[in-house]
Amino acid sequence: MPPLLTQVARVSDGLPLVDTRTPQPGNPVSNKQQQDAKSILRSINTQSPTRMSIVSDKFVFYFMVRDSLCFLTMTEASYPKRVAFLYLDEVSDVILGELVKEHGNDWRSQVDRAARPFQYIHYDPLIQRKQREFRDARQQNNKLQEDLNEIQSVMRKNIDEILNRGEKLDHVSTISQDLQAKSKEFKWGAKKLTWQARLQQYGPMVVGSAFVLMVVYIKFFW
Per-residue pLDDT of the chain (222 residues; tens, 9 = 90+): 779 999 999 999 999 999 998 756 556 788 899 999 999 999 999 999 999 999 998 999 999 999 999 999 999 999 999 999 999 999 999 999 999 999 999 999 999 999 999 999 999 999 999 998 998 755 555 555 555 555 555 655 665 565 555 555 566 667 667 666 665 665 555 555 555 555 556 556 655 666 666 666 666 666
Phi-psi region of 14 (alpha: psi -120 to 50; beta: other; left: phi over 0): left
The rounded distance, in Å, linking the Cα atoms of 19 and 9 is 9
Cα distance between residue 65 and residue 87, in whole Å: 13
Task: State whether residue 115 is helix, strand or coil.
Answer: coil
Round to whole Å and give the CA distance between 151 and 139: 18
d(CA 45, CA 55): 20
Q: Residue 172: how many CA atoms within 13 Å on its side-chain side?
A: 6
Q: Is 208 helix (H, G, I), strand (E, B) or coil?
A: helix
Collect all residues with Cβ–Cβ distance below 8 Å to 69 and sequence separation of at least 6: 8, 9, 10, 11, 17, 92, 95, 96, 111
Q: What is the pLDDT of residue 28?
A: 73
> For the CA atoms of the chain, what is the radius of gyration?
41
CA distance 63 to 54: 9
In this prediction, residue 99 carries a pLDDT of 97
| pLDDT value, residue 138 | 52
The pLDDT of residue 61 is 97
